[in-house]
A and B are shown apart, each in its own frame.
Chain A
Amino acid sequence: MTEFVAAAKASGAELRLRQLTKAFGAAKAVDQISLDVPPGAFVSLLGPSGSGKTTTLNLIAGFLAPDSGDILLDQRSIADVPPHKRNIGMVFQSYSLFPHMTVADNVGFPLRMRTRLSREQARRRIDEMLALVQLGHLGNRYPRQLSGGQQQRVAMARALVSHPRLLLMDEPLGALDKKLREQMQVEIKRIHRSVGTTVIYVTHDQTEALTMSDLVVVMHQARVAQVGTPRVLYEAPASLFVADFLGDSNLLAAKVTRADGDEIVVEIGSGETIRATRGTRAAPEGSRVVVLIRPEDMSVATTPERGDGHDALTGRVKDISYHGDTFKLDVAVGEEVLKVKVGREHGAGMERGRQVFLRWKSAAARVLPAAELSNDAVDGDGR
């Protein structure tokens, strides 16, 4: 281990989960999860509470033993290795800094446990880490004398000081206010770029996952719902749950009336037909599906204009709210209420009760399998 630590900069480790399963009593917290994390990637585990993301993290850390399945770190199984020998760094939700040690001693802790560095070498390493997280001047303070954001940085420094090849982060920004959280997101990305460690980042905040990650693993009911880059997940969700969990969405129940290659025509509740793009699964004629249209993909006009490659619906403004940079409108179309997000100049002239024409690129509407419609995925509280 000493040779490894002596290396100037640790690169990231490759992590593979193989059919990992963990149950508490009868309830499966993690059910047959398989995942490939490439070296150096920033991967988020995203999901509502109880979806199994923290259990997965604790299995990787070694705080829990899997019932079955395997964890491979650089092709080597670590399922039977105790936590202190896994050479993993971890940032805890509540930071878990040692209250009886100074900041420098907290950061130096992994060095004292894992390496035989001389006092002088260790101090240089600690100073380096504190400089990396921009806390160089606070080494002699105690954790309780620091602000939440500063404690967060100390926790990062402690987790990274022994150059682990894998860094686990358990909702590290949950306790910070919005402004500081956004600042720390940028900060964590900067540190990730400079150390190159593989990061597994647990969060229930979809914005955080989308903005920070190379790959996002959406978890739902102890399983992986979908793995993909943030753009793929947002623009091409594979299931209703993912579509609904990430961002705002309009999900319309529909019936396929014509399926021709990738372009599909569906009939929605009001009896009107619209065009949509096929998702990952086949949607044969006559099948029940759900059509996803993101609120920001639609525009609102007071006069009808049906252009090429566009679809449109007529509705009535039910509600309107101002969000500074945008307006959010609820537009009643038949029985359905569609959410629409428009820029300031388009929203300014709108008022409740007014008849409007919704318009969107046909390619922006996506067909999703309707199978899950019955479960909690679409109750809108998943966020």
Chain B
Amino acid sequence: MTALAQPPARLLVRGAAFSGSGLPTLLLLPCLIWISFFFLLPLGLMCWRSLASEGFSLETYSVLFTSPLYTKVMVTTVRTAAIATIFALLLAYPLAYALTISGGKLRGLILVFVLIPYWVDIIVRSFSWLILLGDNGMVNKALVGLGIVSAPLQLLYTPFSVLLAMVQILLPLTTVTLFGAMLRIDRTLMAAAKIHGANEWQAFRTVFFPLSLPGVYGAGLLVFVLALGFYVTPALLGSPRETMIAQTIMVEASQLLDWPQASAAGAVLLLITTSIAAVYNRYFSLDRLWGGPDR
């Protein structure tokens, strides 16, 4: 710390001297301790518990893969997450593109409107959908009042309400991730396309869009993994017949007190998400998409 008060040249020299004695490792230590105690240790305990409740057995896992309940829950989870991801991407793409091509104040304004919902807690956002979509909610009142429907529609506690809320919750993150990826696309490429005969739409279709695809895959993956673990939203807005994996784990752990079973489900969810990340890394690396490693 005292080194910080000294001129940069001395700092450099001291830094170099320290690097030999493992200063960087020392600096990482608090972070490593934190991660070990609050992340790796519980994770390890969870995996251990799933295997060794009464002696060592794979009983919990065989239940996971054979029971019709879990199969149904997994299918619902993956389907809901996938649909939510696709809609989030479809809505976020134009928004991110608008952010990319706009500049200055307009960009700042759009960004604020994208980010404000992001800073609002997930529970608050899910609850507001509860208010909007209820039988006496704003949407139904408007529909009935306008005479479009005679009786309130069942909007809440359906797959629709869950998807709607999930897409809304995932949208800011999707937009920001896509925006980051699009910013990295060299804009003079669009100029090059235009001067060589492409109109605005052709330049977008032949140059910008293909170059943005790695970003789309990246954002899609991130959002999909997040969507797999959604708990609050399906619990508040979903039908009890359409539960997702996180809800089931919660029921196992807090109501049935079957911790080994809950741990096993958690471990499987973890495995699935890490596998997706690994597969993405293997097949959708940016280099490959741009014709790199086929050399």
Contact = CB atoms under 8 A, between A and B. Distances in A.
A109 B193 contact: yes
B195 A83 contact: yes
A161 B253 CA distance: 68
A208 B199 CA distance: 34
For the side of the interface on A, what is the size category? 20 to 34
A83 B211 CA distance: 22
A84 B292 contact: no
Given A90-B192, A98-B192, A84 B199 contact: yes
Contacts of A113: 193, 196-198, 202
Specify which of A94, A99, A144 lies most central, judged by the most chain B CB atoms within 10 Å of its CB: A99
Interface string B194-218: 1111110011001100110000000
A145 B295 contact: yes
A340 interface: no
Interface stretch (B41-49, B63-71, B74-82, B183-191): B183-191
B30 interface: no
Given A94-B188, A113-B202, A100 B195 contact: no
A66 B289 CA distance: 39
A90 B211 contact: no
Interface string A65-97: 000000000000000001110111110101011
A83 B210 contact: no
B18 interface: no
Given A92-B188, A100-B290, A100-B291, A84 B211 contact: no
A102 interface: yes
B196 A89 contact: yes
Given A84-B194, A84-B195, A144-B292, A100 B188 contact: no
B199 A96 contact: no
A162 B196 contact: yes
A354 interface: no
A96 B289 contact: no
B292 A100 contact: no
A110 interface: yes
B195 A88 contact: yes
Contacts of A98: 189, 192-193, 206-207
Interface in B268-295: 289-292, 295
A109 B295 CA distance: 23
Contacts of A61: 191, 195
Contacts of A90: 192, 195-196
Contacts of A142: 290-292
B96 to A, nearest CB: 19
Contacts of B206: 98, 109, 112
B290 A99 contact: yes
Nearest to A90: B195
B190 to A, nearest CB: 9
Contacts of B290: 99-100, 142, 144
A89 B210 CA distance: 23
A114 B198 CA distance: 8
A159 interface: yes
A92 B193 CA distance: 11
Specify which of A89, A109, A112, A114 lies most central, judged by the most chain B CB atoms within 10 Å of its CB: A109
A100 B189 CA distance: 11
Contact of A109 (B186, B196, B210, B211): B196
A255 interface: no
B191 A63 contact: yes
A77 B292 CA distance: 43
A271 to B, nearest CB: 51
Given A102-B291, A142-B290, A144-B290, A96 B191 contact: yes
Given A96-B188, A109-B206, A162-B196, 16 more contacts: A61-B191, A62-B195, A63-B191, A84-B194, A84-B202, A86-B195, A87-B197, A90-B196, A92-B188, A98-B193, A109-B193, A109-B196, A109-B197, A142-B292, A145-B295, A168-B195
8 contacts: A84-B196, A94-B188, A98-B207, A99-B189, A100-B291, A112-B206, A144-B292, A145-B295
